[in-house]
């Protein structure tokens, strides 16, 4: 029997996947039409438009299957309200080595985006701070270095 692994994610992450699926479904008829028009041009063996349209439709279908599986195996996590770090909470961290502060939102793996300060619960920082509360100083063991951070604030924000 195959073991099923659920993907932890925030309600916002789940909604983003639903929205992407809707957009892809809206694009699907146009991709099919492009393929039909390219097929009508004749000789399929040397028809670059046909090959490109076929590839684009395959990519769209593949993405739809992948996103559908993401939703099928999603475990939506609503953050705990006990003040501890959890998926969906926003944390302010003080990096002890250089006294810098950063604010991160803890999210599921597929939602992580460093440019938006969204880090995975399974990242080195995420693992170190999960279930800890404000005031805790923890050691982060990253591949390149080990360092300490202090949790300054934990809050639940609407993202």
Residue written as token pair 């619960």: 121
pLDDT of amino acid 47: 73
pLDDT of amino acid 150: 96
pLDDT category at 3 given cuts 50, 70, 90 is: low
pLDDT at residue 159 greater than cutoff 60:
no
> What pLDDT digit, counting tens, does each position of 82-140 carry?
999 999 999 999 999 898 999 999 999 989 999 999 999 999 999 999 999 999 999 99
Give buried/exposed letters for 33-55 (b at 16+ CB in 10 A, else e): ebbeebeeeeeeeebeebeebbe
> What pLDDT digit, counting tens, does each position of 28-86 carry?
999 999 988 888 877 666 778 888 899 999 999 999 999 999 999 999 998 888 999 99
pLDDT of amino acid 49: 84
Per domain, the residue ranges of the chain are: 7-76, 89-156
The span from the CA of 130 to the CA of 79, in Å, is 11
Mean pLDDT across the stretch 3-32?
Answer: 91
CATH topology classification for 7-76: Helix Hairpins (1.10.287)
For the structural domain made of 89-156, what CATH number should be given?
A: 3.10.50.30
pLDDT of amino acid 2: 63
Mean pLDDT across the stretch 130-159?
Answer: 92
Mean pLDDT across the stretch 15-34?
Answer: 95
pLDDT at residue 158 greater than cutoff 70:
no
Note whether 121 and 110 are within 8 A (CB): no
């Amino acid at each position: 029997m195959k073991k099923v692994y659920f993907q932890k994610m925030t309600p916002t992450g789940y909604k983003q996947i639903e929205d992407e699926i809707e957009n892809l479904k809206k694009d699907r008829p146009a991709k099919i039409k492009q393929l039909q028009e390219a097929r009508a041009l004749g000789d399929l063996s040397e028809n670059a438009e046909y090959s490109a349209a076929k590839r684009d439709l395959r990519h769209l279908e593949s993405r739809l299957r992948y996103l559908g599986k993401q939703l099928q195996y999603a475990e939506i996590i609503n953050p705990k309200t006990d003040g501890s770090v959890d998926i969906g909470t926003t944390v302010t961290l003080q990096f002890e080595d250089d006294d810098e502060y950063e604010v991160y939102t803890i999210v599921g793996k597929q939602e992580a985006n460093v440019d938006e300060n969204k880090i995975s619960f399974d990242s080195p920082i995420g693992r170190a701070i999960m279930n800890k509360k404000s005031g805790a100083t923890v050691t982060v063991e990253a591949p390149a270095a080990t360092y300490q951070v202090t949790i300054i604030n934990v809050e639940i924000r609407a993202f």
